[in-house]
Amino acid sequence: MTPKFRALCLVPVFVAALFLTGCSKFSCPTTSLGSTGSGGGKGGVNTGGNLCGSGGINGTEAALVYFPNVDSTGALDIDGAVLTTSGQFAQLTATPPNTTGQSTDDMTIVAGKFLYVPFADTNAVEGFSIDHTTGALSPIPGSPFALTTGTADTAVADPQGRFLFVGSEISGLISVFQIDATTGALTEAPGSPFSSFNLFFADSLTVDGTGNFLYAGQLLSSTPLDAFSIDQNNGALSEIGAFNLGVAQLHADPSGKFLMGVAEIQDQFTFASDQHIYVFAIDSVTGAPSPVAGSPFATTSAPFDFAISPNGEFVYVVGNDLSGNIAALEGYQLDTTTGALTALPGSPFTGLPTDLIQCKFEQGGGEMFCSSSSLGNFSVLTTNPSTGAVTNTVPDLAVPLSFPFAVTD
């Protein structure tokens, strides 16, 4: 990722103070989440609950979202918000922790317990434990965790929550950390950081659904995708090879069968222009990706990011039109046998907020959180796990910054 969004974490104090004043009080909406959004998770159950108490979460938590904020002293905080099962969405009252770093454009949650934020200005990863009773964050012992070399720009974990992979978009190095399952403390893996002759910008990282392979996309679709096998004992990487597949932004599906990509990475300075999403089958033995029949699949907009539902059956695309305007969210059904994509009925979803630039699912799969192009708004979209239909019944939440962000149920 580029410094485009990093500057937003260094907003002048008086601007931050104005934002904080506007968000210091909130009302509690009473919208109920529909049962069609449950997907087996907590997000679609209407059990009531109250968030407007004297602190903490006084209802049943459906999801927590964390995001950066510059406080009135100029320090960078990690703020949070909670969505309850009765559809109440508001900022947490727990005191947000300050960070040592000031420049980040990524964060990830592991096992629903630990939040990790890479900081490019300190070349370290800061880790926090999540209290699901109050939503409060507590620094993990030993945090921040310094990189041996390279910059900390992007971070992703394997699905089992054993290893954290940190990419450098400047040097192409990938640092690997072993995650203590109890404390969340990070220990650098043997041989880390890992490099490759083929990797110049480790900007978009994803791990396949089995946890066996790591894929690294670079800043430009003209540069190859680099693939690695993951040592299942210590997280060490071994290069599989480089593949010229025409993609930059990557995500893998939860089954481990498919890798998907688009030609543009979200925070580049130019608009996306490739109106396709690419789907690749992953060789279960070698990890090599190869295009599925029919790929690439045409999209209405030019995508710069996408989200895959936790059940692996739907893909939701954000992008711009060819005039450079943010386009309506698009939805596609993924054939879990062939990897083919088919547009969902009603897609593009013009009745939803039209300024969405990044969407992430909570792990239960009922709700998808989306950041707006103004970077000061969160939208909650409820997805039907059977049909892929999307609704927006929870009032949006205005926050000072909504990028980067991470979500957990």
pLDDT tens, N- to C-terminus, the chain (409 residues): 433 333 333 333 222 222 222 332 223 333 334 433 333 333 333 333 334 333 445 557 789 999 999 988 888 999 999 999 888 999 998 899 999 999 998 999 999 999 999 999 999 999 999 999 999 999 999 999 999 988 899 999 999 999 999 999 889 999 999 999 999 999 999 999 999 989 888 889 999 999 999 999 998 899 999 999 999 999 999 999 999 999 999 999 999 999 999 998 765 456 899 999 999 999 999 999 999 999 999 999 999 999 999 999 999 999 999 898 999 999 999 999 999 999 999 999 999 998 999 999 998 878 999 999 887 899 999 999 999 999 999 999 999 888 899 999 8
Which of these, 221, 122, 129, 211, lies nearest to 165 by C-alpha position? Answer: 211
- 77 in Cβ contact with 95 (< 8 Å): no
Looking at residue 126, what is its pLDDT?
98
CA dihedral 106, 326, 299, 394 (to 10 degrees): 70
Looking at residue 117, what is its pLDDT?
98
Which of these, 183, 269, 191, 186, lies nearest to 230 by C-alpha position? Answer: 191
Looking at residue 400, what is its pLDDT?
85
Copy the structure tokens of residue 244.
Answer: 């010229």
Q: How far is CA 5 from CA 20, 105, 153, 402, in A?
A: 19, 6, 12, 11
- β-bridge mates for residue 260, sequence order: 251, 279
223 CB-near residues (< 8 Å, 6+ apart): 200, 201, 248
- 153 in Cβ contact with 168 (< 8 Å): yes
Q: Where are the beta strands (DSSP E) in 96-207?
A: 108-110, 114-119, 124-130, 137-139, 145-146, 154-157, 163-167, 174-179, 186-188, 204-207
- 225 in Cβ contact with 203 (< 8 Å): no
Copy the structure tokens of residue 228.
Answer: 């690695």
Chain mean position to CA 388: 19
Rounded distance, CA 63 to CA 369, Å?
10
Copy the structure tokens of residue 209.
Answer: 């659904």
Looking at residue 2, what is its pLDDT?
38
18 CB-near residues (< 8 Å, 6+ apart): none
The residue with tokens 């979460």 is: 57
202 CB-near residues (< 8 Å, 6+ apart): 153, 154, 167, 168, 169, 171, 172, 173, 174, 216, 218
Amino acid identity, residue 333? Answer: Q
Chain mean position to CA 368: 11
Looking at residue 266, what is its pLDDT?
67
Looking at residue 8, what is its pLDDT?
37
Looking at residue 186, what is its pLDDT?
98
Residue 17 DSSP one-character state: H
**Length of the chain counted residue by residue:** 409
User: What's the burial of 400, exposed, middle or buried (CB within 10 Å: 0-12/13-18/19+)?
Assistant: buried
Rounded distance, CA 196 to CA 199, Å?
5
Rounded distance, CA 36 to CA 366, Å?
8
Looking at residue 376, what is its pLDDT?
87
Collapsed DSSP state (helix, strand, coil) of residue 101: coil
Which of these, 66, 45, 9, lies nearest to 382 by C-alpha position? Answer: 45
Looking at residue 31, what is its pLDDT?
35
How do beta strands 154-157 and 145-146 pair?
unpaired
